[in-house]
Amino acid sequence: MTFAIHGLTVSRGIAIGRAVLVASSRVDVAHYFIEPGQVDAEVDRVRIGRDVVVEEIHRLQESISHMGPKEAPHELSALLDVHLMLLQDVELINGVKHWITDRLYNGEWALTTQLEIIVRQFDEMEDAYLRERKADMEQICERILRAMKGADSPVVAHVPRAARKPSQQDLLLDDTVDVPLVLIAHDLSPADMLQFKQSVFAGFITDVGGKTSHTAIVARSMDIPAVVGARTCSQLVRQDDWVIIDGDAGVVIVDPSPIILAEYGFKQRQGELERGRLQRLLHTSAVTMDGEKVQLLANIEMPEDAPGALKAGALGVGLFRSEFLFMGRQGRLPDEEEQYQAYKKAVEGMQGLPVTIRTVDVGADKPLDESVRDDAHLNPALGLRAIRWSLADPAMFLTQLRAILRAAAHGQVHLLVPMLAHAREIRQTLAHIDHARAMLDNRGMAYGPVKLGAMIEIPAAALSLPLFLRHFDFLSIGTNDLIQYTLAIDRSDESVAHLYDPLHPAVLRLVADTIAQCRAQGKPVSVCGEMAGDVGLTRLLLGLGLRSFSMHPAQILAVKQEVLRADTVKLTAWAQQVVAAEDPALAMSAP
């Protein structure tokens, strides 16, 4: 039966594919595709994991058989019998085989996928006793996963399966081999997203998350249709269901009829044609109709993103979110050499164009590790994140600063500091940069000059601009956080997403003043939050005097098209009216 689920628009376009539900197992599970020739070995790996658990249970049974009823109550041995029975469950065994053989999932992924299916069946059972067996099934699967962890996969991780776009015919024929896959999860951490970035998913959906949550940001950088904040989607959709993601409308259509499929197939092709048309602007300079040059820069997460940024026509990197190098490493942070190599790779990848490296911004919805998610603090977004975290751990901060300074010997590097608000923090940060230079001098190591920038993303910073203008070479407005902190809206909470408003007069006032004060002092200023890549806001930002925009590479050409059509002489007065309006969204309709 066809039904629709509404969420929040994150990334434009249409994706059509089969649902892959990522189970939220307590054991950290890798998801990757194996090669067809590795199917037997992978099936064996799960079987061996299962045999290990069977062995363990047998040993346990043996040891309790010598104990009295006090130490080993009858229930315990009955429970072990149930576990042994579940380990032989045909549905579990055959299901796992199916996901490995037909879908080329790795063993752990196949096991958690099948577990998810069985768990749902248990949930629907009338019989309370049988329903409770769900927990047993989860336990034995977790034990198999742990046993498999001891026996690493012989296959190379993250081998992407050759993805090809299916024809409409494929979709209707229900082809099960090379169909596109759509990822559905309750939640995905930014680190998970990074892992999926290497994979072949045609789109993704999460139950939670706001429009500018970091998960949404990484999705946008992947340039695939996505919807977040889809509430109960991961419970309503079943493994392998056909799903359409309408990224433009923030809608998910489950189990579409052939007519709906055909309609969306058409829309998808229209979107591809539009992208093709935009490609013609690749080598056109971003200059407005009245001759104003505009700098369009890329936001990247990893050094490997640099070639993509160049290919999309970026004139540099306006924001390299260095924290992605630090995530998902089970507490082992990258050392100076590893960071230096990563920054150098990004700098060399940009072939002489400037690269703005932002110092680490972890905390809030960007935990270092899933296992250390910050639930302990009531308000992580207001807690120890970004520069606060760096200043609290000077050794870590100095390591990063040295690595960035060394990378600056290989090209133009701008060093950007997130979340500053206090004069004291600015002084400490600058002192650390001097200290890092002195350390490199002492070691006789080469380093290069850097331009120093601060992010304006806390209202207090936007209201203390003279302080920032005195100490920094350039400013970059982080509108994602500026909106979050100005409006007291958690950017990753879908329940308040309707209040997250870039066009709130207070937000516009802070953005407009920052741009105006920078221009008055001849200081470069850019916007690197999501507002910069929103084509609906390009003319407004141009009208406010912005000439440098940093965004996901995929958005550059669409923004360039807006720039080419704009006349800043006309836009200036209009933009001031919009900022002064009671309802700027309404005032935006002209000119």
Binding site for ligand PEP (CB under 6 A): 217, 319, 321, 361, 457, 478-481, 528-529
Q: Which of 184, 141, 154, 192 is nearest to 19 (CA)?
A: 184
The Cα 100–Cα 46 span in angstroms is 10
Catalytic residue set: 214, 528
Closest CB 455 distance from Mg ion, rounded Å: 6
Please pick, from the candidates 166, 256, 478, 584, the single residue that binds Mg ion as defined by CB under 5 A.
478
Please, which residue, 339 or 479, has the CB nearer to ligand PEP? 479
Residue 100: contacted member of ligand PEP, Mg ion, none (CB under 5 to 8 Å, by partner type) = none
Please, which residue, 92 or 528, has the CB nearer to ligand PEP? 528
Closest CB 529 distance from ligand PEP, rounded Å: 3
Closest CB 313 distance from ligand PEP, rounded Å: 20
C-alpha dist (Å) from residue 534 to 451, 531, 548:
27, 5, 14
Task: Work out whether 457 is an interface residue with Mg ion (CB under 5 A).
Answer: yes
The Cα 164–Cα 434 span in angstroms is 51
Closest CB 364 distance from ligand PEP, rounded Å: 8
Closest CB 429 distance from ligand PEP, rounded Å: 17
DSSP state of 588: T
User: HSE of 519 in the Cβ direction (CA atoms, 13 Å)?
Assistant: 14
Q: Which residue has the tokens 């099948």?
A: 114
The Cα 238–Cα 124 span in angstroms is 14
The alpha carbon of residue 163 and the mean position of all alpha carbons in its chain are separated, in whole angstroms, by 21
Q: Which residue has the tokens 């042994």?
A: 84
End-to-end Cα distance, the chain: 45
Task: Work out whether 530 is an interface residue with Mg ion (CB under 5 A).
Answer: no
What's the chain's Rg over C-alpha atoms?
A: 26
Q: List the structure tokens of 112.
A: 């958690």
Question: x/- binding map, residues 373-412, to Mg ion, per CB under 5 A?
Answer: ----------------------------------------
Residue 9: contacted member of ligand PEP, Mg ion, none (CB under 5 to 8 Å, by partner type) = none
Task: Work out whether 453 is an interface residue with Mg ion (CB under 5 A).
Answer: no
Interacting positions 227-256 with Mg ion (CB under 5 A): none
Residue 528: contacted member of ligand PEP, Mg ion, none (CB under 5 to 8 Å, by partner type) = ligand PEP
- Bridge pairing between strands 525-527 and 251-254: unpaired
C-alpha dist (Å) from residue 144 to 20, 54, 110, 190, 239:
21, 9, 12, 27, 21
Beta bridge mates, 363: 366
Please, which residue, 250 or 529, has the CB nearer to ligand PEP? 529
Q: Which residue has the tokens 């594919």?
A: 17
Closest CB 321 distance from ligand PEP, rounded Å: 5
Please, which residue, 9 or 480, has the CB nearer to ligand PEP? 480
Please, which residue, 252 or 314, has the CB nearer to ligand PEP? 314
Q: Which residues of 460-471 are buried (b: 16+ CB within 10 A; e: fewer)?
A: ebbebbebbbee
Please pick, from the candidates 108, 240, 246, 481, the single residue that binds Mg ion as defined by CB under 5 A.
481
Please report, for the chain, how many H helices and E strands are present, in that order. Answer: 23, 16
Please, which residue, 192 or 481, has the CB nearer to Mg ion? 481
Burial of 243 (0-12, 13-18, 19+ CB in 10 A): buried
Please, which residue, 145 or 300, has the CB nearer to ligand PEP? 300
C-alpha dist (Å) from residue 484 to 231, 300, 388, 508, 568:
21, 21, 18, 13, 29
Closest CB 415 distance from Mg ion, rounded Å: 16
Please, which residue, 42 or 361, has the CB nearer to ligand PEP? 361
Closest CB 479 distance from ligand PEP, rounded Å: 5
The Cα 139–Cα 116 span in angstroms is 13
The Cα 584–Cα 589 span in angstroms is 9
* Residues at the contact surface with Mg ion, assessed by CB under 5 A: 457, 478, 481
